[in-house]
Structure 1
Amino acid sequence: MEIKEHSKSGIKIAEIISNEIIIKTTEDALDLMGNIYYQGYDKMILHQKNITPEFFDLKTKLAGDILQKFTQYNMALSIIGDFSKYESNSLKNFIYESNKGLQVNFLSSMDEALNTL
């Protein structure tokens, strides 16, 4: 895992880069968030491929649990990927509602993520 630093208006943003799944459980997300926060980052960018596919099945409640932690600890998060492959209307609505706020966004590109954060 590599952390690539981005900066916007003096705010440090961590982009997590890996070829592996990094977040499989809520505990993985908490560990990553703590690590990022400890290193002085205020916001995080994750790639869809680094999150277990179970996250995108809302029946598992994993997405809700993980995103609640990001909100609770005030760590803004952008998840970059192609979410059009998911056919679940519930997931599409979840992404739509998340994107209305400032805390968690599902976006298609790094430029969108940096502009949103």
Structure 2
Amino acid sequence: MKSEHDAVDLIGEAFGQQADVVAIPAQRLDDAFFQLRTGLAGTIMQKFVTYRLLLVITGDITHHTATSTALRDFIRETNKGDQVWFLQDPTDLDNRLARRPTNA
């Protein structure tokens, strides 16, 4: 995913499937997503929040967080909420969804 347009397309697909959670493997995201100064992450995430879809980024992103304290802090704070999660793998996603309130 490289742009806001890509996010809108994915949101449309999710609505077509009546999904309320969209999981994206981290490797499918452009490196600019993980560079907070570009604003790409914020723009994409806001689209999902606006349309009330849970966005989950899965996979190993340590090569991005190793060089950015701001990104590590951003992910830690984001993971405290219920709108965007950064998780290691599908098992983490299953476990987190199992703990999610049914009205979220």
The alignment's TM-score, normalised by the length of structure 1, stands at: 0.77
Identity %: 40
Q: What is the DSSP-based 3-state SS (H/G/I as helix, E as strand, rest coil) of the residue aligned with 1:100?
A: coil
Matches within 5 A, 1:22-61: 23-61=1-39
Tell me, in whole angstroms, the C-alpha distance in 1 between the residues paired with 2:49 and 2:18: 17
Q: Which has the higher strand share?
A: 1
The alignment's TM-score, normalised by the length of structure 2, stands at: 0.86
Aligned with residue 83 of structure 2, among 100, 103, 106: 103
Alignment match, 2:100: none
Tell me, in whole angstroms, the C-alpha distance in 1 between the residues paired with 2:95 and 2:12: 24
Q: What is the DSSP-based 3-state SS (H/G/I as helix, E as strand, rest coil) of the residue aligned with 2:85?
A: strand
Larger RCO of the pair (alpha carbons < 8 Å, separation 6+) = 2
> 5+ residue gaps in structure 2?
98-104
Could you tell me how far 1:26 is from its partner in structure 2? 0.8
Q: What is the DSSP-based 3-state SS (H/G/I as helix, E as strand, rest coil) of the residue aligned with 2:48?
A: helix
Write out per-residue CA displacement over residues 7-39 of structure 1, whole angstroms, 9 at most, x where no aligned residue.
xxxxxxxxxxxxxxxx11011011111111112
User: How many pairs were matched up?
Assistant: 95
Write out per-residue CA displacement over residues 18-69 of structure 1, whole angstroms, 9 at most, x where no aligned residue.
xxxxx11011011111111112111111100111111000010000010011
Aligned alpha-carbon RMSD (Å): 1.0
Could you tell me how far 1:70 is from its partner in structure 2? 0.7
Matches within 5 A, 1:1-117: 23-86=1-64, 87-117=67-97
Tell me, in whole angstroms, the C-alpha distance in 1 between the residues paired with 2:74 and 2:8: 21
